[in-house]
Structure 1
Amino acid sequence: MVHIIGSIVLGVSISALVVTPVVQFLCSIAADFRPSCSMAYKASFSALLGCLASVFIVGDILDASGAAIIVNRNLPGLLAAMPVEAYIFGRLIRHPVTGGVGFVNGYLISAIVTLLGYSVYLGIKMLAAAVPV
């Protein structure tokens, strides 16, 4: 059990490290300021943990109800994770003068980060399918 939790925390830590410059760039576009690296990392790490927890909860609900056989498990988890991630980004990324960037800017940041992550996932999946075994 400790190995699984450690793997999850390590994976989220590395993912947050990769996402941090993207969050900084998106904040400079959406909120007209560039947060510090530590603020962007904390927000990314917390948002990814919240996203992971909400996906696990939705997956457990789908498994318990028997609907996991009928529906694609990725879409309901993604739809549940987006508001959680947007709320965390909106609360933890703070402008020095005006305070938090808010839910709308957090949702914009969250949507673009999710789309970039999903496109990387699909690219890796297509590359893996193209490699002969």
Structure 2
Amino acid sequence: MVKIQVKTTQLPIEIGEHTFYIDTSEKGAEAFWKLVTGYATKSAKITEKVEKETITPERADKQAKKELERVIDQLLGDGAFEKLYELSPEYIFISEYYMEICSAVAEELGGRKKQLFEKMQHYLEG
């Protein structure tokens, strides 16, 4: 009998005493990239407004913090930002967590495709 291990598309992300799960299925990956791209676009627009002096730096900071809260909750689940803020009550730290999470998810998604390609090459070459 051949037993094949069931694979999961839930990538665990542990920060402090909290463990969050990110869906890395094809649908989850699509949602992840859409979220990351949207956040980058909104952040760039906020920076542009400051440079053009259409908003104050204080207002920009407030908007940036609000966007960070939104993206963390969408990425890790409702209430995730609050949990992280309790661990590290500093937006810059949570922003660093966000970058580390994005890097880990991107690596997971890219690594999975690379492994599949390498296995297929191995089988094709005999």
**TM-score interval, smaller chain:** 0.3 to 0.5
Task: Answer with 1 or 2: which has the greater Rg.
Answer: 2
Structure-2-length-normalised TM-score: 0.40
Give the strand-richer structure, 1 or 2.
2
